[in-house]
Amino acid sequence: MSHYKAKGISIITALLLTVVITNCVSAQNPVAKAYTDSNFVEFGSPAKYSIAVKVKGAQKVEFPVFHKEIVPELEVLRGPELDTVYNTDLTVSIINSYYITSFKDSSFTIPQMPVLVNGEMLRTDSVNITFTLLQNIDSTFYAAIDTTKALKIFDIVEVKNTPFTFEEFWHRFGRLIIIILIAMLVAAAITYFIIRKLKNKPIIPIAKPKEPAHITAYRLLDKLKGSKLWQQGRVKDFYSILTEILKNYITDRYNCSVIENTSEETLDELKQFLSSKDENYKNFKTLLDTADFVKFAKFEPRPDENDFALSVAYQFVDSTKLIPEITTQPPSTRPMVPPPFESNDTIINNNIDSTQIDSTVDISNQSVINNDTSFDAGISINNNTDN
């Protein structure tokens, strides 16, 4: 009997030694796992994602590092936070935690994460987590959850203000804005059409022909003359406006820009069109010199010099203006034969020959043309005389 009792004790002792040795061997092999404090979280609320490594003794552990997101649309709020737990089996659990959240009603799978222990790579299990509205979860789901393990009580989280982005604004109001803009364009087009019709104007405005440069210059010079600036003591304003009128005239007349040029640059540009020995060029140069003295050297010209400057401006425009060519019809070489005399009875009876009627019409038209030609020539002569 004692033999069987000793044999049983030895068997039990061997089993105990096997268990202890197995535990020691397993404890020497590091283990990595990942988990979250909750599998279902209301979107926008934080959840804790942790990676834990169980090692024995002083071993170097390297965890993966996350910055903004773990996976797309699964954001990192803060972390990492390291924690160390000493176990009763003489092992150490090193835990690396992140607080994560998502603003999308969706389920996410966090893939296996690599962890280095003394240069040896371990991989955690993948973790599933769902962010959703809590009222969307069926009550049977809560009944199946062990609240002592799956759910933990957290402090009240403050309301977070998320920025109102342009994408969100356009998603809400973009279609309405496009409809309003189209309606405004249609209303504006209809209003424009009605106004043009009521005013008896064409729908598309016809551009007016540009006024000749010398006509514009004459009008502005007349206005300057009527303002009597230098008589009021505003000599500087008088010469500034006078030179500006002439520079604008040169720009339009010769198609060259001298508005921003100095007096010397303007004269150099004008040499392309007028000879420096021309009397108009010399008078214009004298006018610019006088204007520079008045504007920059506070020169006070005499009244007759002011009148001379204005007359020089008129003469310069008059002598350089572009006169369109007038084509006149040459006089007819056909002999002017008076129509034959006929009695009134013949006219009443409509017996006039058709050739005679044509010659009569041609003669009358020719006389009108000759009269118009002589009238136009009279206008041009009178204009030259006035100028």
**Residue ranges of domains in the chain:** 31-143, 163-207, 213-320, 326-387
Q: Given pLDDT bands bounded at 50, 70 and 90, which one contains residue 73?
A: confident
Q: Given pLDDT bands bounded at 50, 70 and 90, which one contains residue 358?
A: very low
Contacts of 369 (CB under 8 A, 6+ apart): 329
> What tokens appear for 357 in the block?
């009627």
- pLDDT per residue over 246-276, tens digit each? 889 888 888 888 888 888 888 888 888 888 8
Q: Given pLDDT bands bounded at 50, 70 and 90, which one contains residue 189?
A: very high
Residues 292 and 235 sit within 8 Å (Cβ to Cβ): no
- pLDDT per residue over 91-131, tens digit each? 888 888 888 888 888 888 888 888 888 878 888 888 888 88
Distance separating alpha carbons of residues 379 and 247, to the nearest angstrom: 29
pLDDT at 369 (0 to 100) = 36
Average pLDDT over residues 213-225: 89
* pLDDT at position 226 over 80: yes
Q: Given pLDDT bands bounded at 50, 70 and 90, which one contains residue 363?
A: very low
pLDDT over 70, % of the chain: 69
pLDDT at 188 (0 to 100) = 94
> What tokens appear for 55 in the block?
């090692």
Nearest of 57, 199, 75 to residue 129 by alpha carbon: 75
pLDDT at 179 (0 to 100) = 95
Query: What is the sign, positive or negative, of the torsion defined by CA atoms of 193, 198, 199, 202?
Result: positive
pLDDT at 113 (0 to 100) = 86
Distance separating alpha carbons of residues 28 and 6, to the nearest angstrom: 33
Q: Given pLDDT bands bounded at 50, 70 and 90, which one contains residue 80?
A: confident
Burial class (CB in 10 A: 0-12, 13-18, 19+), 184: exposed
Longest dimension (CA), the chain: 182
pLDDT at 343 (0 to 100) = 47
Q: Given pLDDT bands bounded at 50, 70 and 90, which one contains residue 352?
A: very low
* pLDDT at position 366 over 50: no
pLDDT at 178 (0 to 100) = 94
Average pLDDT, rounded, for the chain: 74
Q: What is the CA radius of gyration of the chain?
A: 53
Average pLDDT over residues 336-362: 45
Q: Given pLDDT bands bounded at 50, 70 and 90, which one contains residue 190?
A: very high
- pLDDT per residue over 118-173, tens digit each? 878 888 888 888 888 765 555 565 555 565 655 566 677 777 677 778 888 888 89
Average pLDDT over residues 361-383: 35
The CATH code for residues 31-143 is 2.60.40.10
* pLDDT at position 340 over 90: no
Distance separating alpha carbons of residues 218 and 150, to the nearest angstrom: 96
